Amino acid sequence: MIKNALISVSDKTGVVEFAKQLADLGVTVYSTGGTLKAITHAGVAAKAVDSLTGFPEMMDGRVKTLHPMVHGGILAVRDNPEHVKAMVEHNIQPIDLVVVNLYPFRETIAKPNVALEDAIENIDIGGPTMVRSAAKNHAYVGIVVNPNHYDEIIAMLADKGELTKEYKFMLAKEAFAHTAAYDTAIANFLSKQMGEGPTPPEYLSAYEKVSDLRYGENSHQRAAFYKEIGTAHGMGALKQLHGKELSYNNIVDMEAAWNMVWEFEEPAACIIKHTNPCGAATADTLHDAYVNAYEADSVSAFGGIVSLNREVDAATAEEMSKIFLECIMAPAFTQEALDILSAKKNIRLVELARPEPGQVMVKKVSGGLLVQTEDDIAESQAEYTVVTKAQPTPEQWTALHFAWKLVKHVKSNAILISNEKRTLGVGAGQMNRVGSAKIALEQAGDAAKGAVLASDAFFPFGDTVETAAQHGIAAIIQPGGSIRDEESIKAADEAGIAMVFTHIRHFKH
């Protein structure tokens, strides 16, 4: 039977109504300062926690509930005679329901230029202590950290006067997850204050489920999508406006597509298959960028994921509605564009904010985690070296920059052929570089003549340049740095190809 409840919440959503319903069910409600005020102002009967402890709240609220009269009441094992004896001896009231949510630490540190003292003061101590006490003693005590449960708890109590064993167990599990995520946020904040950077000695993170997915990469794999608790960026903040539920592979491809399209300030469109671009283009208008990207490889574009870096207008929407696309992502859609595209039942429309720079990239490996900073190094033409007799023309420079921005998003070994505004051929993920080059060149066909080629890493031999020359490539951009660079330079000079070394590699594994 639930006789006594202790309510102490920072997020007071629904708490007055909940307290009222508890009181109506005959539960005695004890509460701390602000929560008590909110409850009693609404005319609901509740008692101050001081009436249990015999102590006033003190030290700016640092000490309110940290007391044996509270924790004894929560932690006592009700059918242990020793515990019962201690309760009687010390006049400890059993507390059967603990309703707590914590000081808004994450909200506090999200404020610009938050003072360290302010952040520290918002580290809740008494709250998590009660949460952990109640969660430990879940056999006897219900612990509620999420206001979403208020209604079902009232319904259960009205029905049976008690919470089921299974429900209390679930609440306890949720409670420990709540305090773990809370402490994670604190530890990460302090790590940042210490300037530990992106690779601290302990890597802590907390995620909550957004949704179960129908399946993983394949239909026999179980999967779900989680977002980082307390942050609202990246894939965790995507807004699906229309269409079937997103799949595991959709989300993987969407991330690749989204990072790629924001390489460009001008209107750009990328069409992704299996995380690689089958077409990417820029233009003066979004419509033309999409058409160019589509025409880069209209066969592979079917069923692709499209990312766009401008609000989608009606003209672009009309164009995209001509073929089957899995998903379209953009920072916004006009109403007209939405009307056009949502006429197609299966297409997924997703709105997303521009990626925030400086994110840490994390990859789970068995038994561990790989963490690295983003591949976002600032590059400038001034730091590149033209290593051949031929110099790139201004048009070729434009094309080389375009290809270089994209090749870093292609799975290694990566070769990308383009003109100034559009990909012409992409060779991704082959086990040798010349293999990727052959695929890209074959795809580009005649368009390779006079086009440029980008390679994400250096050429180990001269063979890639020789193959490029046979197809009429006019200029090449690559990091350089191979012990056989001279072979490639010689092959380029012989073919009259201009070759640029960036001295920066862009592997993507």
Taking CB under 6 A as the rule, does residue 412 contact ligand FAI?
no
| Neighbouring residues of 68: CB distance < 8 A, sequence distance ≥ 6 | 90, 92
34-93 residues in contact with ligand FAI (CB under 6 A) are: 34-35, 61-66
* Minimum CB distance to ligand FAI, residue 97 (Å): 15
One residue of 5, 69, 95, 102 binding ligand FAI per CB under 6 A:
102
Taking CB under 6 A as the rule, does residue 125 contact ligand FAI?
yes
Per-residue DSSP letters for 49-118? Answer: THHHHSS--BTTTTBSS-SHHHHHHHH--TT-HHHHHHHHHTTPPP--EEEEE---HHHHHHSTT--HHH
* Minimum CB distance to ligand FAI, residue 8 (Å): 4
* Span from 33-41, 196-204, 269-277, 278-286 in contact with ligand FAI (CB under 6 A): 33-41
* Minimum CB distance to ligand FAI, residue 101 (Å): 6
Q: Which is nearer to ligand FAI, 98 or 468 (CB)?
A: 98
* Span from 121-129, 147-155, 163-171, 492-500 in contact with ligand FAI (CB under 6 A): 121-129
* Minimum CB distance to ligand FAI, residue 75 (Å): 15
Exposed/middle/buried for 359, CB within 10 Å: 0-12, 13-18, 19+? middle
Q: Which is nearer to ligand FAI, 4 or 65 (CB)?
A: 65
* Span from 94-102, 202-210, 429-437, 461-469 in contact with ligand FAI (CB under 6 A): 94-102
* Minimum CB distance to ligand FAI, residue 41 (Å): 13
161-220 residues in contact with ligand FAI (CB under 6 A) are: none
**Any catalytic annotation for residue 136?**
yes
* Minimum CB distance to ligand FAI, residue 83 (Å): 22
Q: Which is nearer to ligand FAI, 56 or 197 (CB)?
A: 56
Q: Choose the catalytic residue: 37, 67, 244, 274.
A: 274
Q: How many residues line the site for ligand FAI (CB under 6 A)?
A: 21
- Cis previous bond, 4, omega within 30: no
Contact 63, 80 (CB under 8 A): no
One residue of 39, 44, 92, 100 binding ligand FAI per CB under 6 A:
100
Strand partners for 478: 501
Contact 424, 441 (CB under 8 A): no
* Span from 26-34, 162-170, 201-209, 420-428 in contact with ligand FAI (CB under 6 A): 26-34
Q: Which is nearer to ligand FAI, 9 or 350 (CB)?
A: 9
CA distances from 497 to 25, 384, 392, 474 (A): 85, 16, 8, 5
Contact 42, 20 (CB under 8 A): yes
One residue of 8, 133, 467, 478 binding ligand FAI per CB under 6 A:
8
Taking CB under 6 A as the rule, does residue 429 contact ligand FAI?
no
Taking CB under 6 A as the rule, does residue 33 contact ligand FAI?
yes
One residue of 4, 21, 32, 122 binding ligand FAI per CB under 6 A:
32
Q: Which strands form 239-242's sheet, in the order they lie side by side? A: 239-242, 348-351, 327-330, 305-308, 268-273, 276-282
Closest listed residue to residue 409, CA positions, set 279, 297, 266 = 279
* Span from 101-109, 139-147, 281-289, 353-361 in contact with ligand FAI (CB under 6 A): 101-109
* Span from 120-128, 139-147, 295-303, 499-507 in contact with ligand FAI (CB under 6 A): 120-128
For 101, other C-beta atoms within 10 Å of its C-beta total: 21
Residue type, 262: W
- DSSP letter at 160 equals H
Q: Which is nearer to ligand FAI, 105 or 459 (CB)?
A: 105
Between helix 126-136 and helix 68-75 the angle, nearest 10°, is 20
Q: Which is nearer to ligand FAI, 230 or 435 (CB)?
A: 230
Q: Which is nearer to ligand FAI, 120 or 332 (CB)?
A: 120
* Minimum CB distance to ligand FAI, residue 162 (Å): 25
* Rounded Cα–Cα distance for residues 376 and 393 (Å): 26
* Minimum CB distance to ligand FAI, residue 228 (Å): 22
Residue 148 CA neighbour count, 13 Å, CB half: 3
- Mark residue 287 as left, alpha or beta (left: phi above 0; alpha: psi -120 to 50; beta: remaining): alpha
Q: x-or-dash pattern for ligand FAI, window 345-364, by CB under 6 A?
A: --------------------
Q: Which is nearer to ligand FAI, 99 or 424 (CB)?
A: 99
* Rounded Cα–Cα distance for residues 422 and 281 (Å): 4
Closest listed residue to residue 97, CA positions, set 37, 169, 168 = 168
Between helix 15-24 and helix 33-41 the angle, nearest 10°, is 70
Closest listed residue to residue 474, CA positions, set 459, 492, 486 = 492
* Minimum CB distance to ligand FAI, residue 96 (Å): 18
Q: Choose the catalytic residue: 136, 233, 242, 244.
A: 136
Catalytic residues: 136, 274
Which parts of this chain interact with ligand FAI (CB under 6 A)?
8-10, 32-35, 61-66, 100-103, 124-127
